Amino acid sequence: MQSSILNNQRMRIIFLASVLSLFSIVASASTDGDSDGIIDSIDRCQNGETDWFSNQSTNADGDGCRDSTEDWDDDNDGFDDDANSTIADDCPNVYGLSTQGEILGCPDSDNDGWADLSDKFPNESTQWNDTDQDGYGDKLSGHQGDS
């Protein structure tokens, strides 16, 4: 009988410890230390500025960093929003990975490095230019290259 009572008490202690532990996890997951409206667990600037609230016009990508002063890459593509940067994003509000030519950080549908904006063949990764405008790409070894 006494061992049954002890087992019951142990079970209650384990249960209470589990509840307290779960409460701690939930509380920390919903903490918003800088009061910007983005919980710390997903806030890239969780200890950032406190005099603002995140919305589409102040934090376009929803990462918890104020676009105007804390976030140097609003579309999270790895290219800087600052036009004076050595890796400046030519499409700062649109995610893109173009790395070739004069246009960086813009959408590149065929992943050939050339931005769709300047790629004569945006859906063909082996061609991107057509100098003579005959409909065939300049790269001989590419798909439908000039002959």
**DSSP code at position 145:** B
- Between the CA atoms of 74, 79, 80 and 85, what dihedral angle is there, to the nearest 10 degrees? -170
Average confidence (pLDDT) over 10-14: 62
Residue 71, CB half-sphere, CA atoms under 13 Å: how many?
24
In terms of Cα–Cα distance, which of 39, 43, 20 is closest to 30? 39
In terms of Cα–Cα distance, which of 15, 48, 24 is closest to 34? 48
Report pLDDT for 105.
96
**pTM of the model as a whole:** 0.62
